[in-house]
Amino acid sequence: MPEQETLLQIVNLKKHFPIVGGLLGRTAGVVKAVDGISFDIQRGETLGMVGESGCGKSTAGRAILHLHKPTGGQVFFEGNDLTQMNAEALRALRPKMQMIFQDPYATLNPRHSVKKIVGEPLIIHGLMKKGSPQLKERVAELLELVGMDPAYMRRFPHEFSGGQRQRIGIARALSLNPDFIVCDEPISALDVSIQAQVVNLMQDLQEKLGVAYLFIAHDLSMVKHISHRIVVMYLGKVMELAERNDLFDNPLHPYTQSLNSAVPVPNPKVERKRKRFILEGDPPSPANPPSGCVFHTRCPLTVEECIKVTPDFQEIYPGHFVACHLANQKGGSKIPERANPVMAGT
């Protein structure tokens, strides 16, 4: 980890969406998209965030940035509570916190030139004037920073490949010198060969600029290379949080163990001997989450306590947090082979 200085503190953050149904548009319950998550993000670090589709990763990213107003909890940025800020104060902080998306093509305006796309935040925040030489210079500098020819500023998004478009999205996000960027699956839509290039670029930029990332992905293999620490989400809650190598070497939550067993090991001998633990079925609906531990309906280790009592998110040893009743008991929550009906040898 680069420096040890807390940039963001997320405390029991919740985002519930009302379900509006019926002819009269009455509220028929809530979707608990994010349901009480807590962690911090250090200055200049990459915190990877993984979990299955619909577990609340994008909602968490947006709620942290206050693009969605949280239902509960707090977000502290450099010690200041965003949830207590008015619209004007939030707007003043906006340049420090940016977001990049999975599909840059859907988020880059096709009618705008690269110059307009990358320079727009500077104009909106009143830092530079439209058509000014300073703006052109800054856009050229940003394009060089992301490894693109500054002459491309006159071109339009459709003229670029997916990887180049993601570079444009990154240049735009960097235009205001942010301290923090939520990266919502920035490489998931790219070819595998391009994914590594974009990850390397993002790492280089972090080293140069000291920016912190919340790097969201579906699976552990995508965040393995770039993350300093990794947070694992399931059904709106954090299941586990640990330093990257520690999470891979010693996953304490059965859900993390299942995600981990899906990551291929480069050594073919080790890979062949490995047991796979494949989760059956889909996660339950966040509109009607299971009682107790939300993972208990899919967990091979479930005991009565898991059905009745929600496990605390506890620090088992320094830096390693987990929400599992069995994780801190003798024998831990390691899935024994015989307990796993869907364990498939490969």
Ligand X SMILES: Nc1ncnc2c1ncn2[C@@H]1O[C@H](COP(=O)(O)OP(=O)(O)OP(=O)(O)O)[C@@H](O)[C@H]1O
Instruction: Give the 3-state secondary structure of residue 272.
Output: helix
286 binds ligand X (CB under 6 A): yes
Residue (85 or 287) nearer to Mg ion, CB: 287
Residue (119 or 286) nearer to ligand X, CB: 286
Q: Looking at beta carbons, which residue is closest to Mg ion? A: 58
Least gap, CB of 10 to Mg ion (angstroms):
17
Helix (H) or strand (E) holding 16: strand 6-21
59 binds ligand X (CB under 6 A): yes
Beta strands 80-81; 97-100: pairing state: unpaired
Q: How far apart are CA 123 and CA 110, in angstroms?
A: 19
The answer to whether the CB of 122 falls within 8 A of the CB of 176 is: yes
Taking CB within 5 to 8 Å according to partner kind, which of Mg ion, ligand X, none is near residue 53?
ligand X
58 binds Mg ion (CB under 5 A): yes
Bridge partners (DSSP) of residue 100 are 183
121 binds ligand X (CB under 6 A): no
Binding residues for ligand X restricted to 130-189, rule: CB under 6 A? none
The window from 46-54, 81-89, 137-145, 329-337 that contacts ligand X (CB under 6 A) reads: 46-54
Instruction: Give the 3-state secondary structure of residue 306.
Output: helix
Task: Walk across the sheet containing 320-322 and list its strands.
Answer: 97-100, 180-184, 212-217, 46-50, 229-234, 237-243, 320-322, 314-317
Closest residue by Cα to residue 323 from 257, 239, 232, 234: 239
Beta strands 229-234; 314-317: pairing state: unpaired
Contacts of 68 (CB under 8 A, 6+ apart): 15, 59, 62
The answer to whether the CB of 278 falls within 8 A of the CB of 345 is: no
Binding residues for ligand X restricted to 292-311, rule: CB under 6 A? none
The window from 54-62, 189-197, 289-297, 326-334 that contacts ligand X (CB under 6 A) reads: 54-62
Tell me 318's DSSP state: T
13 binds ligand X (CB under 6 A): no
Binding residues for Mg ion restricted to 127-156, rule: CB under 5 A? none
Q: What is the DSSP string of 184-195?
A: ESTTTTS-HHHH
Helix (H) or strand (E) holding 281: none
Taking CB within 5 to 8 Å according to partner kind, which of ligand X, Mg ion, none is near residue 33?
ligand X
Q: What crossing angle do the helices spanning 162-174 and 114-124 adopt, rounded to 10°?
A: 20
Binding residues for ligand X restricted to 25-44, rule: CB under 6 A? 31, 33
Least gap, CB of 101 to ligand X (angstroms):
10
Binding residues for ligand X restricted to 181-200, rule: CB under 6 A? none
- Lookup: tokens for 69: 């107003």
The window from 56-64, 108-116, 275-283, 311-319 that contacts ligand X (CB under 6 A) reads: 56-64
Least gap, CB of 99 to ligand X (angstroms):
13
With CB under 5 A, what is the number of residues at the site for Mg ion?
1
Least gap, CB of 60 to ligand X (angstroms):
7
Residue (58 or 260) nearer to Mg ion, CB: 58
The window from 48-56, 120-128, 153-161, 309-317 that contacts ligand X (CB under 6 A) reads: 48-56
With CB under 6 A, what is the number of residues at the site for ligand X?
13
Q: How far apart are CA 79 and CA 7, in angstroms?
A: 8
* Chain contacts with ligand X (rule: CB under 6 A): 17, 31, 33, 51, 53-59, 218, 286
Kindly list the residues in this chain that would bind Mg ion in the complex (CB under 5 A). 58
